[in-house]
């Protein structure tokens, strides 16, 4: 297995068409990003299954990867996002459980978290995936567009809707501000 | 705190399990580049087949065998095959400038994944490959129309605009990929069954309880498009005869439609079964086959064929025919 392989992800993937073992370098580079994203959303056990599926599918589909792209991370996270769509119900139950247990002495905090989960549940699957890729995977607008194969404008509108819904659900809570430092890099 | 922070902080970060990476790495390798070593040689496995329509839906019947012991009937078939192959004259010597030519007809499951859906189909092809000892060579393939194993697959494919699974005639100049998976690694295979068993067992380490299924698949790889002597092939069959979990499957047909007796092993992790197919009379190796078992991720019926090859011809030749090279240039 190639632990360290010089060259961009695109070059490695192109080479892996003739030498499949070269794809091991893609796994080494991006395992943490893919597994970490899935683990954050659905927990460690299911995350292993998701990560296995992501890299296996990516391997099978590597011919379709645009090798002029330098970074495979958005592509891999896009595959993860599509796989995770099926697990929203599990994810929601888990989030609710966390929200309830997070309260402790600060019951207002627990209520806010439960409201956030309810807000996420009210989103369309497309809106939710865009929001998670932005907030949890820390992808830029351009990267989300590449991950989900949608125009950047669509990313912007989906995120705006998703965030608006969450804010709306939380009402005029003073706990919610409307800006995020990362946005300055995306607009 | 913004709504984005609230989303991020819904779940507290926890320390990562250090073993998770290794577990996933092994699982991915087993499902991809280590699954069949031939993937490392740009050869047969991924794209393969020409097939008789009946084979796509053939269901083979399990007659005997358990997952924990060496089945006597299956071992007997393999040992008889080991004896039979020793009586064969074998291939001519392979000089450094000569090619090992192998012609086969194949069918393997190909999956296309799109943003909104994925679908699979058996893709048939005929395949001719010319390989030098150093792994360079030429590959000529003629790929046929996809054969869908379920209505769900077919509808998903239609809804996606009937994208190509890759078809028609393709010619590929094979580069020397070097490394441990060089095509002619078979030249160094031991002819002593004990030594060969130990080598394959070592190479399959890491597959846990699935190690014997992996060894069986590796034997299939070595028999496929590699230069092997009768003594090496005999040793490969002998090693297969020692693997716990082997079983005899009757009623099988190879990818060319020839009736066969199959010796198979189940891979419970992948919900599939790999089989070597032998001529019922002569016990000459005809080909190989893969079927899915119940509970498979595709939702296909237990026993559905998802891959196979029929070996049609193998010989040592001086060159790639000029007609093949010329046709590829036009």
Give per-residue pLDDT as tens, B102-159.
Answer: 999 988 877 665 556 667 888 898 989 898 887 778 888 898 999 999 998 899 889 8
- Residue A3 domain-assigned (yes or no): no
- Residue A2 domain-assigned (yes or no): no
Give the whole-angstrom CA distance, residue B131 versus residue B146.
Answer: 28
Q: What pLDDT score was predicted for residue B17? A: 72
Give the whole-angstrom CA distance, residue A42 versus residue A48.
Answer: 10
Partner-chain residue, chosen from B10, B25, B39, that has the shortest CB–CB distance to A117: B10
Residue A61 and residue B113: Cβ atoms within 8 Å? yes
A176 to chain B: closest CA residue: B2
* pLDDT tops 60 at residue A62: yes
Determine the residue among A34, A38, A60 to mutate to test chain B binding: the one whose Cβ has the most chain B Cβ atoms within 10 Å. Answer: A60
Percent of chain A clearing pLDDT 70 (strictly above): 83
Residue B8 and residue A136: Cβ atoms within 8 Å? yes
Is B19 near chain A, with CB under 8 Å?
A: no
For B:107-126, CB contacts with A below 8 A are 111-113, 115, 118
Give the whole-angstrom CA distance, residue A130 versus residue A147.
Answer: 9
Nearest to B119 by CA among A49, A26, A125, A60: A60
- Residue A45 domain-assigned (yes or no): yes
Domain total of chain A: 1
- Residue A168 domain-assigned (yes or no): yes
- Residue A164 domain-assigned (yes or no): yes
What range does the domain containing A89 cover?
9-185
Q: What pLDDT score was predicted for residue A21? A: 81
Across all residues in chain A, what is the average pLDDT? 78
- Residue A62 domain-assigned (yes or no): yes
Distance (Å) from the C-alpha of residue B27 to the closest C-alpha of chain A? 6
Give the whole-angstrom CA distance, residue B222 versus residue B230.
Answer: 13
pTM for this prediction: 0.55
Determine the residue among A56, A78, A116 to mutate to test chain B binding: the one whose Cβ has the most chain B Cβ atoms within 10 Å. Answer: A56
Partner-chain residue, chosen from B12, B21, B32, that has the shortest CB–CB distance to A31: B21
Residues of chain A contacting B10 with CB distance shorter than 8 Å: 95, 98-99, 113, 116-117
* pLDDT beneath 50, residues of chain B: 36-67, 176-183
Q: What pLDDT score was predicted for residue A44? A: 81
B117 to chain A: closest CA residue: A82
Partner-chain residue, chosen from B21, B33, B175, that has the shortest CB–CB distance to A20: B33
Residues of chain A contacting B31 with CB distance shorter than 8 Å: 52, 56, 59
Nearest to B104 by CA among B127, B122, B125, B124: B127
- Residue A140 domain-assigned (yes or no): yes
Q: What pLDDT score was predicted for residue B217? A: 80
**DSSP three-state, residue B225:** coil
Residue B28 and residue A56: Cβ atoms within 8 Å? yes
Q: What pLDDT score was predicted for residue A134? A: 92
Q: What pLDDT score was predicted for residue B84? A: 96
Contacts 24+ apart (CB under 8 A), A61-64: A61/B112, A61/B113, A62/A13, A62/A16, A62/A17, A62/A23, A63/A17
Q: Is the dihedral of CA A102, A105, A106, A108 positive or negative?
A: positive
Q: Residues with Cβ < 8 Å from A132, sequence gap 6 or more?
A: A41, A81, A84, B7
Partner-chain residue, chosen from A41, A48, A57, that has the shortest CB–CB distance to B23: A48
B178 to chain A: closest CA residue: A19
Residue A48 and residue B40: Cβ atoms within 8 Å? no
Distance (Å) from the C-alpha of residue A181 to the closest C-alpha of chain B? 10
pLDDT in tens, A78-125: 999 988 887 787 788 778 777 776 654 455 677 788 888 888 888 888
Give the whole-angstrom CA distance, residue B78 versus residue B80.
Answer: 5
Q: What pLDDT score was predicted for residue A38? A: 92
Helix axis angle, A9-18 relative to A24-42, nearest 10°?
120
Residue A167 and residue B17: Cβ atoms within 8 Å? no
CATH number, domain with residue A94: 1.10.10.10
């Amino acid at each position: 297995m190639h632990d360290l392989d010089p060259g961009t992800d695109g070059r490695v993937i192109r080479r892996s068409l003739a030498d499949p073992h070269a794809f091991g370098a893609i796994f080494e580079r991006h395992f943490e990003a893919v597994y970490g994203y899935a683990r954050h959303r659905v927990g460690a056990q299911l995350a292993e299954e998701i990560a296995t599926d992501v890299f296996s599918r990516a391997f099978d589909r590597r011919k379709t990867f645009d090798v002029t792209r330098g970074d495979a991370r958005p592509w891999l996270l896009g595959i993860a996002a599509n796989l995770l769509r099926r697990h929203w119900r599990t994810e929601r139950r888990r989030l609710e459980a966390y929200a309830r247990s997070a309260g402790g002495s600060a019951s207002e905090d627990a209520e806010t978290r439960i409201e956030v989960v309810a807000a996420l549940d009210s989103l369309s699957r497309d809106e939710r995936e865009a929001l998670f890729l932005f907030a949890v995977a820390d992808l830029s607008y351009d990267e989300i567009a590449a991950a989900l194969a949608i125009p950047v404008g669509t990313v912007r509108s989906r995120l705006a809707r998703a965030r608006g819904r969450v804010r709306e659900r939380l009402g005029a809570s003073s706990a919610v501000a409307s800006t995020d430092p990362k946005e300055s890099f995306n607009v | 705190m913004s709504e984005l922070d609230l989303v991020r902080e819904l779940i507290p970060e926890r320390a990562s399990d250090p073993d998770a990476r290794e577990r996933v790495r092994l699982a991915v390798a087993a499902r991809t580049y280590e699954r069949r070593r031939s993937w490392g040689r740009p050869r047969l496995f991924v794209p393969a087949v020409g097939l008789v329509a009946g084979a796509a839906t053939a269901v083979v019947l399990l007659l005997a065998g358990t997952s924990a012991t060496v089945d006597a009937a299956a071992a007997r078939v393999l040992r008889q095959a080991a004896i039979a192959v020793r009586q064969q004259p074998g291939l001519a010597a392979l000089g450094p400038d000569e090619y090992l030519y192998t012609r086969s007809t194949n069918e393997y499951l190909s999956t296309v994944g799109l943003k909104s859906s994925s679908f699979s189909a058996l893709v048939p092809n005929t395949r001719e490959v010319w390989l030098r000892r150093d792994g360079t060579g030429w590959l000529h393939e003629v790929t046929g129309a996809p054969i869908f194993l379920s209505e769900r697959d077919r509808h998903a494919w239609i809804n996606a605009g009937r994208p190509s699974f890759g078809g028609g005639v393709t010619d590929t100049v094979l580069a020397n990929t070097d490394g441990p998976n060089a095509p002619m690694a078979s030249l160094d295979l031991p002819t002593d069954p004990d030594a060969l068993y130990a080598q394959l067992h070592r190479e399959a380490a890491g597959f846990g309880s699935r190690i014997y299924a992996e060894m069986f698949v590796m034997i299939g790889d070595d028999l496929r498009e590699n230069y092997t002597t009768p003594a090496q092939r005999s040793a490969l069959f002998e090693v297969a005869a020692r693997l716990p979990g082997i079983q005899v499957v009757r009623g099988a047909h190879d990818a060319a439609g020839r009736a066969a007796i199959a010796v198979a092993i189940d891979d419970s992790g992948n919900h599939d079964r790999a089989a070597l197919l032998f001529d019922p009379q002569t016990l000459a190796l005809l080909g190989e086959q893969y079927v899915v078992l119940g509970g498979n991720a595709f939702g296909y019926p237990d026993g559905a064929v998802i891959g196979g090859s029929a070996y049609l011809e193998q010989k040592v030749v001086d060159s790639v025919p000029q007609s093949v090279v010329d046709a590829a240039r036009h």
